[in-house]
Every structure is written in structure tokens, then in C-alpha cells.
Structure 1
Amino acid sequence: MTVVRIDAKDVRRLDDLLVAVGKHDRAAFVELYRISITRIRGRIRRTVIDWVQTEDIAQDFYFEIWQTAYRFDPAQSPAIAWMLRLAHARAVDRVRRLETSKRRESGPADRSGEAARDLFAESDDRDDAAQRIHAGLPQLSVLQRQALRLVYLEGNTNATAAQTLGITSAAFKSRLRDGVVALRHLLTAV
């Protein structure tokens, strides 16, 4: 990986340029872009990897620089440090947004509530379903039964149930989902 160095002269120049951009000086913005774009792209690329996303984030980044440069204080940090922090934050925001979007498209990670409702929906008779569920519970692991009991019988939220068991919310959701899937498998096999 090639690291583009900005020499001391350019560091001082960037400080002056960013202050000028804060006053909406277009010529300063063009020069700021010319001096910094390689470093900014490099910082974004280390986070995002995808070239198209890198370019898109860089474009958004410079738009944001144009709008927020007035906030820059050269007494607090060099312009390049301020800009690299901002570029990294934009890249991280994009990765998080993309991950959230992927999760949303593939459906919620915790489909246990939906799956449990489906257990009842598959049966015309709730009493029959309740008997089958009751009969299937002993075949589940103790941890799965415990998770199902805390949420579906006692009415706890996933967060409260996880706290009760002293485990992370993610671990609890996984346990709950496994219990629902196992119970569904038992009920559909009957």
C-alpha cells in the first residue's frame, strides 16, 4: 500500500485553505481538493474497499467540507487530521448503513417472534397447538426452554431476559431463535 505524504508546507497550506473554504472561497476549495484528494480517498478506501463507494463517499465528503469548513479551528488540530477524521467517519457511516440495509433486505436477524406466531397460525385449533408445543418442550435443550419461557410465557423483552440470564442480548436472541426453530421442527415432524 502506498502512503501519500503531505509535506510540512502543504500541512500549513491546508490549514489556510480550509479556513478560506470556511468563508466559501472557491479557489481555495479547488486547491484544497487537489492537495488532499489522494489522502482522503486512501483513508476512505481502507474502510470501504469498494472503489465506487469510495468515490461516492469522497464526493459526499467534499460537499460536507464545503458546508462545514467554518467549524475548523487550526488551533485545535491540523486541517489534514480534521479532514481525515471526518472522511473516516463518513466511510464508517456508509459501511454501517450498507450493513443495516443488507440486514433489512434479508429480513430481521431475530425472527423468533414471527416464527412463534407461525407455530400457532399453522394450527386451526389453539388448544391442539398448545398441547403439541407443551409436548415438544421437553425435547428442547434446557437453555432453549429457558429462553422460550422467559419471552413467550413470562412476557419479558429480549433485553430483559438476556439481563436475567446474565448474557448478551445477541446471545439470548440466538438462543431464542434456536429454540423456536427446534420447536417448529418438532411440531412439523409430528
Structure 2
Amino acid sequence: MSDPCPAPARRPDDHRLRELMAEVAVGDHDAYRLVYRSVAGQVFGLVRRILRDPAQSEEVAQEVMLQVWQAAARYRPERGEVVAWVLTMAHHRAVDRVRQAQASAEREARAAAHQHTTAFDEVAEKVQDSLERERVRHCLKALTEVQRQSLTLAYYRGLTYQQVAELQHAPLSTTKTRIRDGLIRLRDCLGVGS
């Protein structure tokens, strides 16, 4: 990602980032530049680990940073740190991109298969969906209990990392590590991006 702004001497602490987000919410471009400099590298790193493709990662990271500008008024400090909020958006956007790519590949495969068959086979599609759900269940079972619980709370219940950490009575860094490691194991088990 190209950044026309030089790097700051040091990253603002979370209190300062919260103040900057309030300024971004009312359209302050200078505040946005500081937020951008503070989080863009982490956003790109997270997205890159999920997508693995540098060009797509850069594109998704830019989309996330645009979303930060557009959604700044929706940031709620009481729900977590600015960096966690931004990285959650980045994670969701990157996972959406993976899902879109998978869905596109599956659509193309189904279209190619459909050219060879004369009738649409709804039963076969239901069986395929059921097999995919079973595959995800199988891969979730391969995770440790704390990884599975952390992922379930974060992605099925929609809790922030901070909320997951509080529910599990664990440090935030431990919770983030559990979720990251769980996602990596899940991705590898499912063969995503291989």
C-alpha cells in the first residue's frame, strides 16, 4: 500500500486513536491520515495472511481503510480499541473475499458441469451443501476446545475479541492468538488458499 504521508514518530496510544476517530467521524482529513498511518500496516499484514496474494491483499486493505473513513461515526469506544475494530473489519473483508473467490470457482464448476447435464439436479446440490457443512464441522472438531470456543464466540455470535477475552477470563493477546491459530488450522484443514 502506498502511503503519501511519512510515518509518524510513534504510534498514538489507544486513547489518542479514539480521539482521532471522533475527529474522523466529522470529516477531519488530518485525523484520518494519523489513523491511517497507525493501522494500515497491521491491516495489510492481517489481510495478507488470509489472502496470501499481494495484489488482492493491497486492494482489500485499501477497501478496509476506505471503510474506516466511511464508518468512523459507527465506531463505539466502549466496545473495544480502535485497532481491534479496524482489524475486525479487515478480517471480515478478507474472509468475504475468500468466500467470493470460492463461490465464483464453485459457480464456474457448476456451470461447466451443467453444460454436460440436461437437467438441474437439486438433490445433488443439497448433498454437496450438506457435505461442505459436515467438512466444516469436522475441521472445527480438529481445533482445540479453546480455539473452537473462541472462533464460535467471535464469528458465530459476533463478539469482539475483547468480549471473547472477558468471557473466557483470558488476556486479550491470548484470545487473539487462539483465534488466529484456530483460523489458520481451519483454513489448512479446509484447504482454503492452497
User: Scaled by the length of structure 1, what TM-score is found?
Assistant: 0.55
Corresponding position of 1:170: 131
AA aligned opposite 1:62: M
AA aligned opposite 2:42: R
Distance 2:76 2:104 in 1: 35
Alignment: residue pair count = 123
Distance 1:109 1:169 in 2: 21
1:24-78 deviation digits (Å, cap 9, x = unpaired): 1100111111111111111111111111011100111111111111000111111
Residues 105 and 79 (structure 1), Cα distance of their counterparts in 2 relative to 1, 3 Å cut: same
AA aligned opposite 2:123: N
Corresponding position of 2:117: 115
Which consecutive residues of structure 2, in runs of 5 or more, have no partner in the other structure?
1-9, 133-194
Residues 68 and 101 (structure 1), Cα distance of their counterparts in 2 relative to 1, 3 Å cut: same
Corresponding position of 1:26: 29
Corresponding position of 1:83: 86
Corresponding position of 2:62: 59
CA contact (8 A) 1:11 1:79 kept: yes
1:84-125 deviation digits (Å, cap 9, x = unpaired): 1001001011111112222223334874x963649xxxxxxx
CA contact (8 A) 1:159 1:169 kept: no
Which consecutive residues of structure 1, in runs of 5 or more, have no partner in the other structure?
1-6, 119-150, 152-156, 172-190
AA aligned opposite 1:169: S
Distance 2:124 2:109 in 1: 23
Corresponding position of 2:108: 105
Corresponding position of 1:154: none
User: Scaled by the length of structure 2, what TM-score is found?
Assistant: 0.54
Aligned partner of 2:123 among 153, 158, 168 = 158
Considering only aligned residues, what root-mean-square deviation do their CA atoms show, in Å?
Answer: 3.1
Corresponding position of 2:166: none
AA aligned opposite 1:115: T
What is the percent sequence identity of the aligned residues? 33
1:133-179 deviation digits (Å, cap 9, x = unpaired): xxxxxxxxxxxxxxxxxx7xxxxx528985xxxx97338xxxxxxxx
Distance 1:106 1:46 in 2: 26
AA aligned opposite 2:43: I
Give the greater-gyration-radius structure (CA): 1
